[in-house]
């Protein structure tokens, strides 16, 4: 794993919400599992698809998390965050 990727993950950990941090960690894990020297095209395709799926999830979570202005739906976001934390604690 590259130092730039780990530095980016640490930056997300400093300022991201818990759902954004979780999605970023999943993306870093998927990117770390990607073996560029994989000889089997099928295995490489599975790994690459996992990275793309993790990236899409990360971007969607970030879009939700970047709602800067306080609106009525922010209450829903905080409720989702608490529910997420409860699910994480139950694991």
Instruction: Give, as one character, the DSSP assignment of residue 36.
Output: T
Instruction: Give, as one character, the DSSP assignment of residue 24.
Output: H
| Whole-number Å distance between alpha carbons of 13 and 53 | 20
CA distances from 15 to 5, 11, 24, 52, 76 (A): 16, 7, 12, 23, 20
What percentage of the chain's residues is helix, strand, coil (to nearest 5)? 80, 0, 20
Query: Tell me: the pLDDT tens digits for 57-66?
Result: 999 888 887 7
> pLDDT in tens for each of the 91 residues of the chain?
688 888 999 999 998 888 899 999 999 999 988 888 888 889 999 999 999 999 999 998 888 877 655 667 777 888 888 999 999 888 7
């Amino acid at each position: 794993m590259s130092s730039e990727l780990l530095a980016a993950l640490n930056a997300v950990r400093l300022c991201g919400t818990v759902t954004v941090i979780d999605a970023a960690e999943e993306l870093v894990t998927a990117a770390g599992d990607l073996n560029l020297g994989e000889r089997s095209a099928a295995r490489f395709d599975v790994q690459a698809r996992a990275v793309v799926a993790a990236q899409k999830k990360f971007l969607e979570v970030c879009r939700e998390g970047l709602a800067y202005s306080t609106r009525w739906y922010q209450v829903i976001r905080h409720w989702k965050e608490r529910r997420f934390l409860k699910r994480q604690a139950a694991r």
